[in-house]
Amino acid sequence: MRASGHDGMIFSMRRSFPSPLASAQAPVAFTLPVRIYWEDTDAGGIVFYANYLKFFERARTEWLRGLGVGQQTLHERSGGMFVVSEAALKYHRPARLDDELAVTVRLQHTGQASLLLAQEALLCGQQLCCEASIRIGWIDAARMKPARIPPDVLRLVCP
């Protein structure tokens, strides 16, 4: 299923979910602790489904920062940036107010213009709440067109 966003960009929504758990041999590269606040919950008292995307974004940003890839500096230096080009999520159990999640990032595949990442939100670091397969693509920010990931960035994310 394809849908057009308000800015004309095309979004792809998959009907089947490619489980990141299937690639269990790839080690967890990064874990970010996330505490659940009132602002993260819905009227039912559980984490609003779209907020997992925010948690995953924060974890990816901190993963890259930990590798020495500050996104603002990278954008200013190279004229490019990472954008989410594909996202598939599967929800398993709810998280609630005051819970602490461990949000993980694991690199699954590296291409010349994109990275495929497996991400999980784990309650108490063990119980799976949400899993995602996220593809981030590199674009030339001025033209908003796909481009090759700079070699120095690839060397950092693929040791």
Whole-Å CA distances, 129 to 32, 69, 116, 126, 132:
15, 28, 20, 9, 10
Q: Which of 42, 99, 140, 152 is catalytic?
A: 42
Is 98 considered catalytic here? no
- Give the 3-state secondary structure percentages of the chain, helix then strand then coil, rounded to 5: 25, 40, 35
- CB-CB neighbours of 29 under 10 Å: 17
Active site residues: 42
